[in-house]
Amino acid sequence: MLDIIGKRYWYFLISTLVLMPGVVFLTLFGLPLSIDFTGGALLEVEFARAQIGPAQVKEVFAEHGYGDTMVQTSGERVFLIRAKNIDSATKTAIEADLEERFGDLTELRFESVGPAVGEEVQQRALYAVGLAAVAILFYITWAFRHVPNPIRFGTCTIIALIHDVFVVVGVAAILGHLRGWEVDALFLTALLTVIGFSVHDSIVVFDRIRENVKRRAGEPIESVVNHSIIQTLNRSMITELNVLFTLIALLLFGGVTIRGFAFTLLIGIISGTYSSIFTASPLLVEWERRPERLLYALSFVLPPVGLVVGLYALLRGGSKALAKRCFLATGLGVASIAALFFLRRVIA
């Protein structure tokens, strides 16, 4: 039998190596936002002949440095084009290029527009995701109430969800800086889909763990969790492969307008499957066996947590070794975060 849990530290290392570049790029350069978030120009044109696709029009704009342009059809020969702010000279050059390739065109409208996804909508989306995470935590805790420490199942599910979100957002930050890729409204749609898939896949594995905790009472938690993962592995792999085949087809043949959406989903689905098997379940075992190690890791990522835990251990007469290591992890975390923001100011 595969010993997945026995090699959990390797999987933790892999997750760290995958997450760190994205976190660094996200901190230093931020997310590259498209016109959906920043606003820009709206151009409406009508071509004299039909049979022109949005992808062809978008390709012309990309050649002039407007790769994030959104092109929609509004009738048989009319196109609505959203792009970043375009000066008159550039607009004239683009229209001349379009006429040269596709024939005569008529400019129907050209005006400045605000962002399609405003700051208020972004904030509400973040609040909604946060409330959903809390609701998921409470629901899983209630559903798993008949097993020891049910809150740990919900917390590990949320950690796996955060893992997948940072993988997807990190990849977007890296590609945005290196390849000029920009985040649009479809990216948010893909990200929410990844969140749903991540939670579903983790619950499938945890539900089998819950059943086996009762059936295999008395066995070590490592054995129970490893057996549960093996039992659900085929289902997880088949589900992922079916989704991946569809996404790869969209990526290759779906056209340039949905390529970013398909790629985001592809990365998210791979990460979601990985995290449910190699992150959430091993974290559950580690929490049961060595909870102090998770405290150290959490203190590094979220220094206030380490500070609170360390002070609590000292004031309540707890383990001085625990307090010392939490303070050490807190210091290293603060130093790392400060170094990243210092580099960001230097680069800017």
At 216 the pLDDT is: 81
Question: What mean pLDDT do residues 219-224 have?
Answer: 87
Please report which residue ranges of the chain form alpha helices under DSSP H: 8-29, 35-38, 54-63, 88-102, 119-143, 150-179, 185-215, 221-253, 259-275, 281-289, 291-301, 303-315, 320-347
- Residue 309 pLDDT > 60, yes or no? yes
At 123 the pLDDT is: 75
Task: Find residue 107's DSSP bridge partners.
Answer: 45
At 43 the pLDDT is: 80
Question: What mean pLDDT do residues 181-190 have?
Answer: 82
Sorting pLDDT into bands at 50, 70 and 90, what band is 117? low
| Averaged pLDDT score across all residues of the chain | 84
At 292 the pLDDT is: 84
User: Structure tokens of 254?
Assistant: 């779906």
Q: What residue spans in the chain does CATH classification 3.30.70.3400 cover?
A: 40-113
Question: What mean pLDDT do residues 257-265 have?
Answer: 85
At 168 the pLDDT is: 93
**Spatial separation of the C-alpha atoms in residues 295 and 283, rounded to whole Å:** 12
- Residue 120 pLDDT > 70, yes or no? no
Q: Pick the range with the lowest mean pLDDT from 8-12, 197-201, 316-320.
A: 316-320
The answer to whether the CB of 45 falls within 8 A of the CB of 81 is yes
Torsion sign over Cα 190, 196, 200, 203:
positive
Name the pTM for this structure. 0.81
**The 3-state secondary structure of 272-292, one letter per residue:** HHHHHHHHHHHHHHHHHHCHH
**Spatial separation of the C-alpha atoms in residues 31 and 173, rounded to whole Å:** 5
- Residue 307 pLDDT > 70, yes or no? yes
**Spatial separation of the C-alpha atoms in residues 42 and 23, rounded to whole Å:** 34
User: 236-268: string of b/e by CB count within 10 Å (b at 16+)?
Assistant: beebbeebbeebeebbeeeeeeebbbbbbbbbb
SS3 42: strand
The yes/no answer on whether domain 40-113 falls in CATH 3.40.50.300 is no
- Residue 118 pLDDT > 60, yes or no? no
Question: What mean pLDDT do residues 188-201 have?
Answer: 87
**Percentage with pLDDT > 70 across the chain:** 94
Write the DSSP symbol of residue 218: T
Sorting pLDDT into bands at 50, 70 and 90, what band is 1? low
- Please state the φ and ψ torsions of residue 49, each to the nearest 5 degrees: -120, 160
**Spatial separation of the C-alpha atoms in residues 155 and 73, rounded to whole Å:** 45
Q: What residue spans in the chain does CATH classification 1.20.1640.10 cover?
A: 5-32+118-289
At 88 the pLDDT is: 79
Sorting pLDDT into bands at 50, 70 and 90, what band is 121? low
| pLDDT top residue among 90 and 37 | 90
- Residue 116 pLDDT > 60, yes or no? no
| pLDDT top residue among 96 and 50 | 96
Question: What mean pLDDT do residues 215-241 have?
Answer: 86
Q: How buried is residue 82: exposed, middle or buried, by Cβ count under 10 Å (0-12/13-18/19+)? A: buried
Question: What mean pLDDT do residues 101-127 have?
Answer: 72
Instruction: Give me the architecture of the 5-32+118-289 domain, per CATH.
Output: Up-down Bundle (1.20)
Q: What is the CA 264 to chain-centroid distance, rounded?
A: 8
Amino acid at 338: A
Dump pLDDT digits (tens) for 150-170. Answer: 888 888 899 899 999 999 999
Give one DSSP letter per residue of 49-67, joined into a string: SS---HHHHHHHHHHTT-T
